[in-house]
Structure formats: C-alpha cells, structure tokens
Amino acid sequence: MTTHPGSAGDGQHPPHDHDHDHDHDHDHPHAPIAQETEPSYFELMETAIRELLVERKLFGPDEIRRQIEVLDSRTPALGAKVVARAWVDPSFREKLLENGREACEEFGVSFYDDTELIVLENTEAVHNLIVCTLCSCYPRPVLGLPPDWYKARNYRARAVIEPRKVLAEFGTFIPDEVEVRVSDSTAAVRFLVLPMRPAGTDHYDEEQLASLVTRDAMIGVIPVRTGQETA
C-alpha cells in the first residue's frame, strides 16, 4: 500500500489505499495504467530528441501522430495481397520481381521511406530467407512491424550461419537439392519473399489466396499452406 506524500491528512484528499504511484494529487475511480519498467535509455533519448525537434519547430506533434498512424496501418495483410496478385497476374509478378517498390506503389502500397524493395521468388530450386544481421531492417511498408524473434540476436546470427537448422526449428525442412539463399537487409534495401503458390489452389480466387499468405511465409521461414496438406 502506498500513500501520496502530501495527500494524507490535508483535509481535502483522503489517503489512497490502493497500489499506484503518480505524482499528482487526485482520486482515480479507475485502475492505474501500469508503468511496468523504468524508461530505457532509448526511450529517454527518443523523448528528448522528439521534444527538441518539436521545440525547434522542425515538425509538430500532429505530424508525429500522423506518421505513427501510417506505420500502424501496415500489416502483413498488405504483403499477402501483393503475393496473391503476383500469383494470379503474371505481368504483375514480372514487374514485382523487376522492381518491388514500383510494383507495390502501382498496386496502391505507398512507401513512406527511402527504402528499395527486392522481391525474392521461391521456386522448386531456391528457397529464400530474409534477415537483418545488423539490427531489424524489414519491409515495413508492406509488412508492418517485424516479429520479436526477427530482431533477436539469435535469429540474426544463426540465419546466415545455419539457415537450414533455423528453418527446421520453424518446422520447415528444405530438401538438400533445394538451395537456401539468405538475404541480409540493410537500411536502404529491404526484401520480401514471394512464396510458392501451394498445390490444390487452382480454384481459389485472389482474396482466398491472400488469406493463406502469412507474415512468416513472406520472411521465408515457412511455406504457404492450404491447411489441406497431408502429412
């Protein structure tokens, strides 16, 4: 139990008898929003730089909010639509493999940054896997935020050293005769895997196809499945 300094016995504010900490004096009827940890170095740094840039009028809080809204609007569903279109439209597929960014932009996925997008096609002969060995570079305009494991040191280091072993841990076993190609992303160049269209989907329409395509398949750690596969 905590009480606020200055809130006990001042005649106006009865002492709190519940567990929370805040630095102002009022009674909340609602549960406190938990502040789980102290802000990290990078969180403090971000706040300091953001406040400085706003103070210098280089951009305003509304622009920051709008940019966050754009970032949050990106999900793997966008990438899945791109993949499904490539599966049904050979000329789009060709364009996509030629210039990923341009093809995506024409398809309606805007790029809010200066990154190039290279789309890597999985075939019967080549299986592609993407990684950022340095940090967490990822095709965010088409997939949104990367999963935590993508940013983990373990994945970043091992994906290039022993990709088949890493893939096996995702339940993906690549036959020896298939080449595994690992592409290392950079700040300027991002990759997206164009997975193989699964067998038995000839009668699927574009939307049904898109619903099969998952984030992990576009990173290259799993194939696209229909759920109808026999083990």
Q: Catalytic residue numbers?
A: 132, 135-137
Q: Which stretch binds Co ion (CB under 5 A): 40-48, 68-76, 96-104, 130-138?
A: 130-138
Question: With binding defined as CB under 5 A, does residue 80 bind Co ion?
Answer: no
Question: With binding defined as CB under 5 A, does residue 161 bind Co ion?
Answer: no
In sequence order, the β-bridge partners of residue 56 are: none
Question: With binding defined as CB under 5 A, does residue 130 bind Co ion?
Answer: no
Q: Looking at beta carbons only, is 3 or 133 nearer to Co ion?
A: 133
Residue 186 CB, shortest distance to Co ion, in Å, is 7
The answer to whether residues 154 and 148 touch, using CB atoms and an 8 Å cutoff, is no
Residue 135 CB, shortest distance to Co ion, in Å, is 3
Q: Looking at beta carbons only, is 159 or 224 nearer to Co ion?
A: 159
Distance between first and last Cα of the chain:
56
Q: Looking at beta carbons only, is 130 or 217 nearer to Co ion?
A: 130
User: Residue 131, Cβ neighbours under 10 Å: how many?
Assistant: 25
- Taking the C-alpha atoms of residue 130 and residue 185, their distance in angstroms, rounded to an integer, is 7
Binding test (CB under 5 A) with Co ion, winner from 86, 137, 159, 193: 137
Binding test (CB under 5 A) with Co ion, winner from 44, 135, 161, 168: 135
# chain residues binding Co ion, by CB under 5 A = 4
Burial of 160 (0-12, 13-18, 19+ CB in 10 A): middle
For residue 150, the one-letter residue type is: Y
The answer to whether residues 130 and 204 touch, using CB atoms and an 8 Å cutoff, is no
Burial of 174 (0-12, 13-18, 19+ CB in 10 A): middle
Q: Looking at beta carbons only, is 160 or 174 nearer to Co ion?
A: 160
Q: Looking at beta carbons only, is 97 or 189 nearer to Co ion?
A: 189
Q: Which stretch binds Co ion (CB under 5 A): 71-79, 127-135, 170-178, 216-224?
A: 127-135
Tokens 């040191």 identify what position?
153
Question: With binding defined as CB under 5 A, does residue 159 bind Co ion?
Answer: no
- Taking the C-alpha atoms of residue 89 and residue 22, their distance in angstroms, rounded to an integer, is 57
**Tokens standing for 211?**
């619903």
Question: With binding defined as CB under 5 A, does residue 132 bind Co ion?
Answer: yes
Q: Which stretch binds Co ion (CB under 5 A): 49-57, 58-66, 76-84, 124-132?
A: 124-132
The answer to whether residues 102 and 95 touch, using CB atoms and an 8 Å cutoff, is yes
List interacting residues with Co ion (CB under 5 A): 132, 134-135, 137
